[in-house]
Amino acid sequence: MRTGGANGGAGTGGGAHGGGRGSDDGSSGDRLVDRIGKLLAQAEGTDNEHEAAAFVERAQQLATAHAVDLELARTRQRDRAARAGADPLVQERVDVGPRGKRGNRHRVLLFSVVARANDVLVNVAHDSTYVLGFGSRADLEVVERLWASLAVQMTSAAQRRLDRGEHRLTGTAAQTWRLSFYDGWVLEVGERLRAARERAVQSTPVPEGEPSAALVLRDKAQRVSEFYAASSSARGSWRGPWSGRSSVSGSAQAAGRADGSRADLGQPGLRSRGRLGA
């Protein structure tokens, strides 16, 4: 993962990270995912468990009210492909959270694994406050919407366990426990997304005489890679969520993996067709 560039971004070379996609016109503060990201940052920034739970609840209400509609994004993607063939490639900024906010790096990592399953490449700001996504606009929309839902689920799951005092049972500091939980949660969700993508590739029917789903996706990935190489000015390496941490809780990581295995990866209709990550 690379850092720097004229835009201050850091390149990951594969996968996207982040939270609320910003636009060049400065309207990112009004976006749903930006509002959700700020609420999650507030939840992680307070030592008051009741306040944290309230922030997480509000974030979940926002996500639910707006549906974080993955199915709509997928439908648009399919319609665009049917009408115009290859989707044009773009670069978009995704705001993660204010500088220094706890949990930013894990939200970046979460966005990365979602993006990797959807043919999006990413640069990461050196301070993990935003990322730049490179790919088709439809794929970026899917990544952002799925990330918004998963970020709420991850924070909420950790908060529920902290509210029950699980960190105190092992004598672990709350912040150490939370970050370790995130380690396991993101790892598990990433593995599930990769598996879902493989199932979708193998099960997607194609008309006779047309290239296989795997070949179509390989060609798209190559096109995105070439676009990234021509557009990115990133340099250096992103340090990831483990840099600077002196301790890790194995029990919290295991709890994160357990909860990640139950995370909702999309709308019911989408899941039933096995289309996640396609």
Residue 121 lies in a domain: yes
> For the segment 153-169, what is each residue's pLDDT rounded down to a tens digit?
899 899 999 999 999 99
Residue 2 lies in a domain: no
Distance CA 209, CA 202 (A): 17
232 vs 26 pLDDT, higher one: 232
**Residue 7: CB partners within 8 Å, gap ≥ 6?**
123, 132, 233
Q: How many CB atoms lie within 10 A of CB 110?
A: 28
Predicted pLDDT of residue 213: 75
Residue 13 lies in a domain: no
pTM for this entry: 0.70
Provide the domain limits for residue 97.
21-272
Residue 220 pLDDT exceeds 90: no
Residue 4 lies in a domain: no
Residue 9 lies in a domain: no
Q: Which amino acid is at 96?
A: V
Residue 278 lies in a domain: no
Q: How many CB atoms lie within 10 A of CB 175?
A: 15
Number of independent structural domains in the chain:
1
Predicted pLDDT of residue 240: 80
> For the segment 48-70, what is each residue's pLDDT rounded down to a tens digit?
767 766 776 666 566 555 433 44
Residue 147 pLDDT exceeds 80: yes
Distance CA 4, CA 132 (A): 12
Give how far the C-alpha of residue 207 lies from the chain's centroid of Cα atoms, to the nearest Å. 32
> For the segment 91-119, what is each residue's pLDDT rounded down to a tens digit?
999 898 888 887 899 999 999 998 998 88
Decide: 92 and 24 in contact? Cβ < 8 Å. no
Decide: 3 and 235 in contact? Cβ < 8 Å. yes
Mean pLDDT, rounded, of the chain: 74
Residue 67 lies in a domain: yes
Predicted pLDDT of residue 203: 76
Beta strands in the chain (DSSP E): 21-22, 89-95, 121-124, 130-136
- The stretch 186-209 carries a mean pLDDT of 82
Residue 160 lies in a domain: yes
